[in-house]
Structure 1
Amino acid sequence: MAEWYPVMLRMEGKLAVVIGGGPVAERKVCGLLEAGAQIRVVSPELTEGLRTLAEVGRLEWRQKEAEASDLAGATLVFAAAGSSEANLRITAAAAASGIPVNAAEDGEAGDFILPAVLRRGRFILTASVSGAGPALASRVVRELETRYGPEYAEYADELRRIRRIVKERVSSREERRRLLAAAAETDALEEWRTTGIAAEPDRLLERLRDRAGSGQDREKR
């Protein structure tokens, strides 16, 4: 059985080729659009949703059966056609060109699989069972939706600002580690979101040091 290495890819501005124009292909395209990828869809027909995206210029549509030449320039390939024969042919063509390919019908036939995803802005949670039963991963993500609400998008944005300030102003690696750990505590996240303190670097660092010191005091008790 294949062992998978989990990774997050930066796809902004990079080309992803999706073979197929049905509901599965549409789901792949929607995820790629969220990541800012350039998209080429190769299929004789498209779902209404994909056709609309093509009409407004969100993707390139090649209205034809897929060929190896359609993969030129791709960073990733998704074989999601309605035909098993077409998917096998494209998977083989991608492998021959050294392009990582996702095989929708048989995950282990490709180079990567897609986890179920919960996206809250920069805050992204994924769940996977390595292709064994995607329905379980989807259920786990639905459960996580109630635990990690829309506010986590704001938390992640604030933490990004705080991390930049700490890296710029704190020279000690150990102190940076302590301050950033304190910044990610649950009650701290809500403080950053509601007070906007990250806009005042001096005040922010003072507050972080207070929080980090309080945490150390609790550990000593």
Structure 2
Amino acid sequence: MSSLFPMFLKLDGRRCLVIGAGRIADGKAEGLLRAGATVTVIAPEANDKVHALAAAGRITWLEREVQPGDTAGYFLVVAGTNVAAVNRAVVDEARAADILVNAVDDPPYCDFYYGSIVERGHLQIAISTAGESPALAQRLRKEIDAQLPADVGDWLAQVGQLRREVIELEPEPNEDRKWILHKLAQRETCGKDDCPSRIIAREHAAEVAQK
């Protein structure tokens, strides 16, 4: 098998379909919602979580069995029923239409895998074993999670704001801008006005203004 291509996918406003509404499928639906997707769930029955999402208007729930043609028009499909034959039929149909598809817990029938995620604000670290050992991915996630500072998401937000300020002052890429942006990514960045990286950013802004 070829190596996987790692990427982070923008799903804002994308139509995504989840087949199934049990314990496995509901987590996939929630993950797609967090990424901004427009989510439809097809299942004759649903657990309490899916009921609640549908009642709140966060997802569209079609209360029936999946039918041929249901995947048409979707950007991404997750087949998450507990019947392998149903999942594989969904995969075959989606692949025929070049739709990205994942059959939960069935690696050969997946165009993509769900990584084991460590998350702090906008920082995401995704771990994949290409379906070889999800248990190993989960173990590594726990180890990384334990080592990553709890406030790193807040720190990232500060770095992001400083980066936008620098780019606004100096929109054209150059070595000076590259240097300052790398300097701002050091751990001493913080929200305090006398933070070392903020001082560097202000000094850089003053130099740009004098040019």
Matches within 5 A, 1:97-136: 97-136=97-136
Per-residue CA deviations over 1:38-63 (Å, capped at 9, x if unaligned) read 11011111121111111111111011
State the percentage of identical aligned residues. 30
Whether the 8 Å contact between 2:42 and 2:66 is mirrored in structure 1 is yes
What is the CA distance between 1:185 and its match in structure 2? 0.9
Equivalent in the alignment of 2:46: 46
Find 2:203's aligned residue among 197, 201, 206: 206
- Going from structure 1 to structure 2, the CA distance change for 1:147 and 1:88 (only over 3 Å counts) comes to same
* CA shift for structure 1 position 148: 2.1
Superposed CA RMSD: 2.3
- SS of the residue corresponding to residue 193 of structure 1 reads coil
Gaps of 5+ in 2: 207-211
CA distance in 1, matches of 2:194, 2:128: 35
CA 31–208 in structure 1, closer or farther in 2 if over 3 Å, else same: farther
The structure in which a higher percent of residues are helix is 1
Kept in 1: contact 2:166–2:205 (CA 8 A): no
Q: Which amino acid aligns with 2:87?
A: N
Query: Retained in 2: the 8 A contact 1:179–1:208?
Result: no
- 2:209 is aligned to none
Query: Which residue of the partner structure matches residue 168 of structure 1?
Result: 168
Tell me the secondary structure at the aligned position of residue 143 of structure 1.
helix
Other-structure match for 2:192: 194
3-state DSSP of counterpart to 1:195:
coil
Alpha-carbon spacing, 1:70–1:40, altered in 2? closer, same or farther (3 Å): same
* Whole-Å separation in 1 of the counterparts to 2:149 and 2:14: 30
**Cα drift, residue 72 of structure 1:** 2.8
Q: Which amino acid aligns with 1:193?
A: G
> Structure 2 matches for 1:67-86, cutoff 5 A?
67-86=67-86
Tell me: CA distance 1:94–1:47, structure 2 relative to 1, closer, same or farther (3 Å).
same
User: Please, what TM-score do these two structures have when normalized by structure 2?
Assistant: 0.88
**Residue equivalent to 1:27:** 27
CA distance in 2, matches of 1:133, 1:167: 42
Code of the aligned partner of 1:31: G
Give the aligned partner of residue 146 of structure 2: 146
**Shift, 1:2, TM fit:** 4.0
Aligned length: 204
Deviation for aligned residue 1:156: 1.8
- Given that 1:166 and 1:205 are in contact with CA atoms closer than 8 Å, whether structure 2 keeps it comes out as no
Q: What letter is aligned with 1:204?
A: A
Distance in 2 (CA, whole Å) between partners of 1:6 and 1:76 is 17
Q: Secondary structure at the match of 2:36?
A: coil
| Counterpart-to-counterpart distance in 1, 2:108 and 2:192 | 45
Check 1:175–1:70 CA distance in 2 against 1; reply closer, same or farther (3 A cut): same
Task: Tell me if 1:18 matches 2:18.
Answer: yes
Deviation of residue 205 (structure 1)? 3.0
Contact 1:100 1:112 in 2 (8 A): yes
CA–CA separation in structure 2 for the residues paired with 1:36 and 1:185: 30
Change (3 A) 1:90 1:167: same
> Is the partner of 1:129 in helix, strand or coil?
coil
